[in-house]
Amino acid sequence: MKRKTEISELVFKIIAYFFLIVFAIMCIYPLIYALISSLSGSTAVDEGSVVIWPIDFQINAFRYVIVDATFWINYSNTLFLTSLGTIWALGYSILGAYALSKKRLLGRHGWNFFLVFTMWFSAGIVPMYLNYMQTANVFGALGITDLKWVVLIAMGMNATNIILLRNSFEGVPSEIEEAARIDGATEMQVLTKVYIPMSKATIATVALFFGISRWNGYFWAQKVMEDQQYSWPIQVYIRDFIDSWTALTGTTSYDPSEGAVSWEGYQEELYGDATFSAVSVVYAMVVCAILPILVIYPFIQKYFAKGVNMGGVKE
């Protein structure tokens, strides 16, 4: 028998769905705005006339991005930092979480306390910067001059993700581990054949966290690789483009070796005309930069809620 919906319940559902729809629109509109602004004409973008639909439709901004070799070099840097950085961070996070999940670990409570302590207190930006620079000097002494490796190796730690993995490993029944050891499994085999397969949801979620943080990494990459433009990730390149060419930071000119040049002058030098805004180019870059995350996320989303619940709640 179908239950009759009460008035209060109906009102609650209407209000809840209304706020969910509003929230969803607030989340997706910035991406829509970036897309339509990248497809709009120079005057409409600079005057702020773009709201819902492209005005004076054109694809010159995307044409500029496609032929910009520096953009794609920096894009490849981001792919490198994201893929290898995620593997590196996830690998030692799994090893650390596995060790911390074991009650037989000597000083286990102390190690867990030190891990959580880093979430409460941090040394601050200046000591971290000096630490990264010292790491860069060590790499330089070893003959490694590309500072991408400093960003990749020195910035892979995340206490929250290790705790999620630790809690997930603690949820694996001890009887399964004991059965594996009776069958002659080594410590590494127990980890790879028992714990990792039984914690795939949490591992996929943590991998997503690491991947997004690497893909969006901007501040420390800019500070550490300030003088190595060839090693910049794409976010630093976009930030440099904004500072150089758009009015978003209060300046509309760039100062190359031959002197200050406006965006219009730069366009005329390259294309012979000035038909699109520098702001449109920024939005086109943002759209291109976010595409891989939009493609990958739906495949990992099914693990997300399950992984957080398994790793974030300890029974």
Q: How confident is the prediction for the chain on average, in pLDDT?
A: 81
Contact 115, 163 (CB under 8 A): yes
Contact 94, 86 (CB under 8 A): no
Tokens of 118: 């880093």
Ranges of CATH 1.10.3720.10 domains, the chain: 66-312
Residue 239 burial (10 A CB sphere; 0-12, 13-18, 19+)? middle
Contact 61, 281 (CB under 8 A): yes
Tokens of 109: 């409570």
- Beta strand pairing call for 261-262 and 253-254: antiparallel
CB atoms within 10 A of CB 194: 19
- Predicted confidence (pLDDT) per residue in 119-174, tens digit: 888 777 888 888 888 888 888 888 888 888 888 887 777 888 888 888 888 888 88
Contact 209, 308 (CB under 8 A): no
Q: What is the rounded distance in angstroms from the CA atom of residue 225 to the CA atom of residue 133? A: 10
Tokens of 151: 């960003």
Q: What is the rounded distance in angstroms from the CA atom of residue 231 to the CA atom of residue 295? A: 25
Contact 236, 218 (CB under 8 A): yes
C-alpha closest to that of 303 among 202, 168, 195? 202
Q: What is the rounded distance in angstroms from the CA atom of residue 135 to the CA atom of residue 132? A: 5
- Predicted confidence (pLDDT) per residue in 206-217, tens digit: 888 888 888 888
Average the pLDDT over 218-245 and give the result: 84
Residue 312 burial (10 A CB sphere; 0-12, 13-18, 19+)? middle
- Predicted confidence (pLDDT) per residue in 273-284, tens digit: 656 778 888 899
pTM of the predicted protein model: 0.79
Q: Is the pLDDT of residue 266 over 60?
A: yes
- DSSP assignment of 110-134 equals HHHHHHHHHHH----HHHHHHHHHH
- The DSSP output letter for 254 is E
pLDDT above 70 coverage of the chain, percent: 84
User: Domain 66-312 belongs to what topology?
Assistant: MetI-like fold (1.10.3720)
Q: What is the rounded distance in angstroms from the CA atom of residue 295 to the CA atom of residue 301? A: 11
Tokens of 194: 């028992």
Contact 81, 148 (CB under 8 A): yes
Average the pLDDT over 50-59 and give the result: 84
